[in-house]
Amino acid sequence: MAERVLPMVIGAEAEPRDMPLIAAALAAEGLPGIDVPARTLLFVFREPDGGTIGFAGLEPFGEAALLRSLVVLPPARARAQGSAIVAWMAEEARRRGIGEIFLLTTTAAPFFEKLGFRRIARDAVPPSIAASAEFTTLCPENAVAMARRLRPATG
């Protein structure tokens, strides 16, 4: 897999004022809403002028985590921002001691494959993640499960 130079993105924890935009964007993409906000670490990514690029959530379950609610807003797409956000989220997860991230997607499996995720059987996910709302009720049965191991954090 060739290394690509990704744009610099910096996530900041979502604030209550961000939630209406996030809820609307998730609904527009047909993605599950954030049913239990306290469980999901939600990060917003902005342009230097403050305009929102997109957002993504990380739901930790011990040493595994669910990457969810990834949206790059339509005007910001196809500029590698989504790839940079996933790289940023992986680094954030690693920093938090997460060893493997999992996700479900109905439409973006090729995008995640370019970023080092592999398709896995749904029953290969850890039980805690399989029991999450995203896996049990919120996502359709035809969604593809994917996983990516993270290098252990050093120093």
Ligand X SMILES: CC(C)(COP(=O)(O)OP(=O)(O)OC[C@H]1O[C@@H](n2cnc3c(N)ncnc32)[C@H](O)[C@@H]1OP(=O)(O)O)[C@@H](O)C(=O)NCCC(=O)NCCS
52 contributes a contact to ligand X by CB under 6 A: no
For ligand X, give the closer residue by CB, 57 or 60: 57
> Token pair of 51, please?
């305009």
Q: Cβ of 31: how many Cβ atoms within 10 Å?
A: 20
Euclidean distance between the first and final Cα of the chain, in Å? 27
Number of amino acids touching ligand X (CB under 6 A): 18
Does 48 participate in binding ligand X (rule CB under 6 A)? Answer: no
H or E element in which residue 101 lies: strand 100-105
Contact track, ligand X, 90-119, x by CB under 6 A:
-------------x-x-xx-xx--x-----
Stretch that binds ligand X, among 11-19, 42-50, 77-85, 94-102 (CB under 6 A): 77-85
* Residue 62 lies near ligand X (rule: CB under 6 A): no
Phi, psi angle pair for 147, to nearest 5°: -145, 155
**Phi then psi for 71, rounded to 5 degrees?**
-140, 130
Can you give the binding site for ligand X, defined by CB under 6 A? 29, 70-72, 77-83, 103, 105, 107-108, 110-111, 114
